[in-house]
Chains A and B, each alone.
Chain A
Amino acid sequence: MIEVKDLMFKYPKAKEKTLKELNFKIDKGEIFGFLGPSGAGKSTTQKILIGILKDYLGSVKILGKEIINWNTDFYEKIGVSFELPNLYHKLTALENLDFVKSFYSGKKEDSKKLLEMVGLEKNADVKVSKYSKGMKMRLNFVRAFIHNPDIVFFDEPTSGLDPLNAKNIKNIIMEKKHQGKTIFLTTHNMTVADELCDRVAFIVDGEIKLIDSPKKLKIEHGKRNIKVEYIDKNKFQEKDFALKGIGYNDEYIKLLREKEIKTIHTQEATLEDIFVQTTGRKLL
């Protein structure tokens, strides 16, 4: 669906290239996470992929066609939800959706159903200026689906949302993936990326340092240890054991039998740990 080869980009007055030879490929039905700290080149990459910046070097093919060769039909195929909500404040939620819907020609979603998906159906006829930040975010999110696009770009889709609504947004993204939509997710929230993405790319200083699935990364970069927390002499204690041959580790088995165990965890690395390990950078 998306194929990027040797993508380079330099802003006219900048000294250095913002993007240095990016290469990646995203398949249909995949959720691809683009992770990196601010200023890493995430937004520039997204701007190229959604056809705003055209003076790039290298090749960017979307749905098999080089992006500069697409006409405005391109926007019938992709949906975008920006990080900051961009809505008509004087219009109601329903009017906002219907207004932009009129620009599309293909099969379109029912505006009311979209509002239901994000729990805004009761506020459908309320002016957006009266909406809270979270409500605006949800409307902004769901608008990306209005024309039933094949590829959807999300920039920090859960930022500013309470846990319940954030969970709902994540469920919708998963549901859309199962319907065959391809999703490009830009974020610096590692938990969201871990939960949703089939693969993630770590981008720092305009370079992709690594692309892999979160699960595989966590196993590869984990310590292959088990940490046991237990009570001994009325005190919390902890001990690490190698996962290899754990069933024959007498000390471990003895501990399980004789002490009051509080927790047992395998020591997988978090995506955040792996990011710091591979890039030498913190995310924020």
Chain B
Amino acid sequence: MIRTLKSIKGDIFLQFKYGFYLVYTIVTIMYIFLLNFLPEEALIVIVPFIIFSDPSVLGFFFISGLVLLEKGEGVLEYLIITPLQVKEYIISKLVSLTFLSLITSIIIEFFSFGKNINYPIFLVGITLTSFLFILIGFIAVSRFPTINKYLLSSVGYIIVLCLPLIGYFGIFKSRLFYLFPTQASLLLISGAFKGIDTWQLIYSILYLLVWIAATFKIANISFYKYIILKKGDN
């Protein structure tokens, strides 16, 4: 537990040094600036979408960036021979990146929408979505040694995960979207703004938790297979 906390502190420090906080300050300011031009009736659709995309993009691409950086510098090879365990390493990444996600989402919501929303649902939605995308991002990136090889496959992951957005924007409605964990994310985040049915709330939280548990397990296996044993790197 102490080791995990120290690792989280270290990870936040590293992410700060790598410029993640700077990049996100700029992105957040841009979002707020652009959202100010939208009419109020559009905000209720667009702000939840931006808030959804924020932890997902942040989680997915920043975890990939971090892992590729750590692979490039060889530090992952070193971390393996310290007492830090694989699960502690992953938890540390989950917490540190989600922390950044929560801060930016709260700031964006406050300065763009600004009205009273259901904050508990909002925070749960962002946290679970962030966990999900970080874990999937980790699984996606673990087998690749460099960014070029990784980028192509990353597009595939993002497209599949974002399919429920078609339903969200009302282009095409289908119950099949409920099979995607991101449907649950969208329900929670938009639910914080415009309300959510109890069954949807229960479905969303439980379904995301199931996905997070499963991807956490797969991420641990991927770490062992592709980073410790280095299968697939050559």
Contacts and interface: CB of A to CB of B under 8 A. Distances in A.
Interface of A: 50-53, 72-73, 75-76, 78, 80, 82, 84-91, 95, 99-100, 102-105
Nearest to B80: A52
B6 A50 contact: no
B17 A90 contact: yes
Interface residues of B, number: 25
Given A72-B83, A86-B78, A103-B83, 5 more contacts: A72-B85, A75-B81, A85-B74, A86-B73, A87-B73
A53 B81 contact: no
Nearest to A102: B6
Contact of A53 (B2, B17, B84, B229): B229
A99 B82 contact: no
Contacts of A86: 73-78
B78 A100 contact: yes
Interface string B8-39: 01100110011000000000000000000000
B3 interface: yes
Main secondary structure of the interface of B (DSSP, over half): helix
A99 B10 contact: yes
B82 A75 contact: yes
B83 A73 contact: yes
B228 interface: yes
Contacts of A52: 80-81, 228-229
Q: Which 4 A-B pairs have the closest CB atoms?
A: A86-B74, A102-B6, A86-B78, A75-B83
A126 to B, nearest CB: 14
B7 interface: yes
Interface in B40-90: 73-85
26 contacts: A52-B80, A53-B229, A72-B84, A73-B83, A75-B81, A78-B81, A82-B74, A86-B73, A86-B74, A86-B76, A86-B77, A86-B78, A87-B73, A87-B74, A88-B75, A95-B13, A99-B10, A100-B79, A100-B82, A102-B7, A102-B9, A102-B10, A103-B3, A103-B6, A105-B3, A105-B83
